[in-house]
Structure 1
Amino acid sequence: MNRRPAHLTEREEQILRCIRQTIADRGEGPTLTEIGTMVGLRSKGTVAYHLRNLELRGALVRDGYGCRIWRPAR
């Protein structure tokens, strides 16, 4: 079951697609730098900001404290 919040910004949708695709392709999530490159953001801080918002909205789950720690919520 997908627990996606009712409203996500276009950028948040892009980031979720990026994470899902990377996990499907490689079996692990992307780094902040990889996410930024895929969605057109230069700042890792901006990527982290969007990831925190997605986590607060319940669209992502934090799996730990490494560099590939995010997965879409189920």
Structure 2
Amino acid sequence: MLNRTLYNETHQNRTAPPTAYEGLLGDSIERAFAAGIHDLEGLVAFLNEGGPAGPNGQPWTTASYQQEMARLGA
């Protein structure tokens, strides 16, 4: 019997490739983390300064960020 460690492959749970919007959002979040921003308010401010815009082109709020992350993670 093989002894395998179970792990989740990158994008294993995706049903489709990421959209351009998802890619830009992910890149911006990674840049924020790399800049030392780890709190929600700081992340929202970073996104509002550097984009992409929030849902429907609106500025990000803490509530819209949380809702969008829930939607994207569903």
Q: Which TM-score tier does this pair reach, normalised by the shorter chain?
A: 0.3 to 0.5
Larger strand proportion, structure 1 or 2? 1
Structure with more helix by fraction = 2
Normalising by the residue count of structure 1, what TM-score does the alignment of the two structures yield?
0.47
Q: Which has the higher contact order (CA 8 A, sep 6+)?
A: 1
- Which one has the largest radius of gyration? 2
TM-score (norm 2): 0.47
